[in-house]
Every structure is written in C-alpha cells, then in structure tokens.
Structure 1
Amino acid sequence: MSFRIFLIFSLIAIVFGSRIPRAIHSGGCPKNAVYKECTNLCPAKSCQNYMQVSGCFSLRCAPPGCICKEGHVLLNSADSSQGCVPRETCSKLAKIQNATTTASN
C-alpha cells in the first residue's frame, strides 16, 4: 500500500514539476521570439548570416529555449537578448550602415 502511495506522489511530482520551468521560460523570451521545448541544433539565422545557405541539417532536438518567430532572424548573432527582427529589417540596417560608412570616409 505504501509503495502505491509513493508511486502516485512521485508521478504527481514529475507531472507538475516539469511544467514549472516552461511557465518561467515562456515569458522570458526577447522580442519576436517564442519558447520551444524542441529547438534546432543548427545555428540560428541572424542579420549577419540570413542570406547564407546553411549546410547544417538536423532532425534532433536541441535543449529547450527561445527561437525567433517565423519570418524573423536574430538582430545580433553575438547577443540573442537583443531579440529578433523581420528578415527585411536586416537589409534596411545594412543600407544604413553602408551609407554611414560611406559618409564618414
């Protein structure tokens, strides 16, 4: 009888314990990112590499975490806390940076 009670409490602890981290992480993602239990093992696309074709392919899950929403990429691959932006924003930023560089030369 006591083994059954132990088993029931263990199952309850596992079920409810595994839900706590998800609730904590889901609200902590940067702008335009969502929390996923199964993320991609391949490096995330960013404004620095979104036009490059990636040779990386994986069907396995990486650890849970925040990923950019569909159609978005990381603003800065070195600092994911800056959030994600629409892909077209990257080309606009590149034009501004090029214009600034040209004007300062």
Structure 2
Amino acid sequence: MDIAELEQLVDQPLWMKVLETYNELIIQAGQERLEDEQGTRWVGRITSLDETDADELSWIHGQLIAYGWLTFQLEGREEGLLYRITSAGKKASEQAKKLAEQQEKVAA
C-alpha cells in the first residue's frame, strides 16, 4: 500500500467509517459465536450511515472492494451478500488514522 492510497482514505472519512463499522461488526460476530464454531466471520451489508445516502454508500462499498480493503461473498438466497474487512483494510485503516493524526499535528 502506498502513501497515495492512505491519503485517499484519510481524505474520505466516510470510507474510514465504513471500514471501522465492518471491523466492529466482525468483532461482535466473533464474540457471539459458539465455542465450537470456527472460520472467518462475515456480516450483512451496512445499508445506512447517518452521514450518507444509499447510493453513496453503495459507491463506497465498491471503492473499498476495489482497493482490497473490503471483501464479500454470496452466502445464499436468504442471507444474500455478506461482507468483512480484509487484513489489508485493517492495516490501511490503522495507518490512515496515524497519518491523519500526524497531519493534524503539523497543521496545529
């Protein structure tokens, strides 16, 4: 991942919000699973955020998938598409937070 990708993420706070929300949902799903359950946790699509409309949220999903920060799978007719943040997405989110903090310090 290069600095331009990180700057793109820093410049798009809604992208960060979507990644953070998926990360939180995955953590919660992992905490709720049974002891004998194994495997990667997947969660349903985020369909709304206070700061955006459905069309923009759909576009954000596409961008995050294109960057490799979010992935999805088709689970079935009932469940539909399920999503999870990738390890690259977690890393990008963490690094973008640090970059944003550095930029704030320089600006102050």
Q: Does the TM-score normalized on the shorter chain lie above 0.5?
A: no
Please identify which structure carries the higher helix content: 2
For the pair shown, which has the larger CA radius of gyration, 1 or 2?
Answer: 1
User: What TM-score, normalized by structure 2, do the two folds share?
Assistant: 0.29
The structure whose RCO (Cα within 8 Å, separation 6+) is larger is: 2
